[in-house]
Amino acid sequence: MTPALVIADYAPRHAGVWRALNEAWITRWFALEPKDHAVLADPEGLILAKGGRILIAERDGEPLGCAALLKLDDGGFEVGKMAVADHAKGQGVGRALMDACIAAARAAGAPRLYLESNARLTPALALYRSVGFVDLPPRATPYARVDVFMELVL
């Protein structure tokens, strides 16, 4: 029997896996950008200290994925830096992380979730749409790779 998947809050012990998971998916498709370097190097200061959260998916103590909720000025959150280890893809890790992000945002009284992505990331976009995210018009973003903007009203 496969051990249960657990969604845990980020702790300093997760710093290495946080960086590795995100660098792996970003560099598979794109180049690391200045904002990536900053957020991956200082998640405590740039996400947690600003009212956000980082969730880590673990099975039997092994980190398999992560997602961040970055606090927005309107009280909502941006879902960012969502990654799943290659060997764990297709096992429901991404869905569990997204469900946990939605639950955490609702518990915080957030009016919405926002995210930015890329049209090449079709499995991710399918996941987002399956939980109710809808496409938004393009807007300013610090990322060159972003060409998809989405929102889920809570």
- The CATH number for 101's domain is 3.40.630.30
In a domain, 133, yes or no: no
- Summarised one tens digit per residue, pLDDT across range 16-43 is 999 999 999 999 999 999 999 999 999 9
H helical segments located in 5-69: 15-29, 34-41, 43-46
Q: How far apart are CA 98 and CA 126, in angstroms?
A: 12
User: Number of structural domains, the chain?
Assistant: 1
In a domain, 74, yes or no: yes
pTM confidence score: 0.95
In a domain, 18, yes or no: yes
Give the structural domain span for 25. Answer: 5-111
- Summarised one tens digit per residue, pLDDT across range 81-121 is 999 999 999 999 999 999 999 999 999 999 999 999 999 99
Q: How far apart are CA 24 and CA 137, in angstroms?
A: 28
**pLDDT at residue 1 tops 80:** no
In a domain, 120, yes or no: no
Asked if 79 contacts 150 with a C-beta cutoff of 8 angstroms, the reply is no
In a domain, 139, yes or no: no
In a domain, 154, yes or no: no
User: Which has the closest alpha carbon to 131: 117, 146, 150, 152?
Assistant: 152
Secondary structure element (H or E) that encloses residue 83, with its range = strand 77-84
Q: How far apart are CA 2 and CA 119, in angstroms?
A: 33
Q: How far apart are CA 150 and CA 103, in angstroms?
A: 18
